[in-house]
Amino acid sequence: MIAALERPARASAGMPPDRPGPARPRLVGQRSSAADRQRAAAGEGSAAPRVLLVDDEPSMRLLCTVNLRLVGFEVVEAEDGRRALEVARRERFDLILLDVMLPDIGGHDVARRLAAEDGTRDVPVVFLSARASSADKRLGFELGAVDYITKPFDPIVLGEQVEEILGRVARGEADEYRREQLAQLEG
């Protein structure tokens, strides 16, 4: 009876009735719930691409998390560079959305450290920043970013942008795109 009542609600929310919904976000260091562990043990939700979202502004994390979840991403949040490095070393991610201006270790330094470590160097990094000058973007791409999204941005299309970026990475086009962006910034 309960399952029958859930189906219409899930369908009206745009989710298929027989698939679990997107994983709920958690902050770095927050323990997963028993339900999260049960889903993981059953292999549910393991296909959702995982994004590490690093931003010191809670409202920005919430905005990004909600919109990424709407398209099916699992989101883990970190509020500073130190925590981002800790969790990136401990867990696997498909992509890291990284703010440039963080209160402890800046985003550029976080990207440098991630690129220097075997376990994290292959994780694509996308800078998400209010620093929008050509010099800032150039530095981001020179540090190996696969894209650079400037604030303010349209949060409704963030999920689509991340899907497009991951597609580019999967097709092996990330380096070519980076070179094209650097060439545009130079010219």
pLDDT at 46: 54
Q: What is the mean pLDDT of residues 2-7?
A: 34
Q: What is the mean pLDDT of residues 156-182?
A: 94
Model confidence band, residue 126 (pLDDT cutoffs 50, 70, 90): very high
Provide the CB-side half-sphere exposure for 20 (13 A, CA): 17
* Other Cβ atoms within 10 Å of 33 Cβ, number: 11
Q: How large a percentage of the chain has pLDDT more than 70?
A: 75
Query: Is the per-residue pLDDT at 17 higher than 90?
Result: no
pLDDT at 85: 98
* Tens of pLDDT, residues 50-64: 999 999 999 999 999
Q: Of 12, 111, 20, which Cα lies nearest the Cα of 74? A: 20
Is 72:22 a contact under the CB 8 Å cutoff?
yes
